[in-house]
A and B are shown apart, each in its own frame.
Chain A
Amino acid sequence: MDSAKIETGCQLFKRIEKRPNLGYMKFLGDQPNPRDFIQITGEAGSGKTLLITDLIAQCILPKSLNYNGSCAIFINTDHHFSVLKLYALMKECLKDTDVDINEVIEESLSRLIIMNCYSNEQLKITIMNLEKILNENVLINFVAVDSLSAYFWCDQEDVKHFNTASYYVRGLTMSLRNVYGNRNVMTAFTDNLENPLNAGVEYTMFLKKGDAGKHEMTIHNSKIGTDFIRHYNIGNCVEFVD
């Protein structure tokens, strides 16, 4: 892309600082760095879409209620995400507060941009177009994609040699990094890969369906090389049971 422009160190610092950092994320048990990538992977029905919906809620709910109050972009390729579900999930998060729930949720929803993609080409062009949207809104610091592997089989038609799904997903994460440049934007994406990506992501959340609705989440932090396991239920939101 042709975004290279000359700016002074002060200008660069000012531009980067404008985009607020995301705070503590309960699912990671950690405060991610501004440009980290979170991969959410696991079998069908393990709760990937619900988890990414929950991450979006944590991001857009207001700062005054100990959330992030940021702006976010959601790229919808699998079309399992439902804005009605997001509304219900935020309602669940706010049930113990004494605020006007509908007003807070509507205000939070206005900070989210949804983009529906219907083809591999449209997804790739949408990723390229993110640069323009990020420049227009300096408060966007979170991009969520559900899922990055949705058009893998379409891509096989366009390439000369058969690639693996991991290779395809890694290519898209690299395109996202190129588009962000120096901007403080964190990314969470889901995929349907059988094995988690070994490189290019800072956190991997591997979801595994368990018996009697008790599922297992392995969170791998590749920066320090640690794994920790948590168990969860799928209800109106992702509820940890340990």
Chain B
Amino acid sequence: MKNSIEIKNVSKKYPGFALKNINFCVPEGTIVGLIGENGAGKTTTIKALLNIISSLGDIQVLGKNIRKHEKEIKQDIGVVLDNSFLSEYLTTKKLNTIMKDFYNNWDEKKYMYYIKEFQLPENQLIKEFSSGMKMKLKIAIAISHHPKLLILDEPTSGLDPIVRNEILEIFRKYIEEDETRAILISSHITSDLEHISDYIVLIDKGEIKLDKATTELLENYGIVKCSKEDFEKIKIEDYISYRAGKYQYEVLVADKYEFRRKYDISVIDRPTIEDIMLFYIKGGKA
């Protein structure tokens, strides 16, 4: 399987924050969820990936070096940013004429189809749109030039569950249309990613803490609930992190089936991606 994105040893230093040797990839035909707290480095990673900011390390997008083939690569990718857009003083019609100049493959028919499908007004200024409408418009623009890769930064943030679901459905359709397409989606709303992502990459304080298949996380990982006495019997190498509560200990384990065979503890819950993220970021290790 080819990789649509390959990030190797990427670093970036800011005063008070640094990306530290980031490594991960986005295989063709998959949706990869980049998760982490606010300020963990998700947006910085995306900016480095798009060569918007300078960084160290190797970044390959669609098989080419982004620093050497920036414009060529960007013809084949669609990007949605949460809080950045062309202008609020444009209409969907005017955006169409602008985008025609940017993309060689701009598909006006497809764009107008999405505008109708998403029920977006043609002659109304974008500043009068709701948050959901603005996001749908950004997505319509991002996918109307037949991109091979979508890079989405917090596309569902601040939206109600119904609109979020509609948007996730768009991404699902987009990936199903062509198996060589791929999506990198950053979000702190982990429940969204649970349903659509194939892989989860967790970033914390500029470091990759976890890079696993979503099914593996949801099926194999487990949260062991036990007493302090039972927790003290668990070997340090058999768990990832723990959280001490008032009445019980919660312990995150990578293989709940193996854990069950080793220890006589029966209460093991299925974790959500959010639980796993919290354990990695806030959990302790003896």
Q: Do A and B bind each other?
A: no
- Residues of chain B touching chain A, judged by Cβ–Cβ distance below 8 Å, are none
- Residues of chain A touching chain B, judged by Cβ–Cβ distance below 8 Å, are none
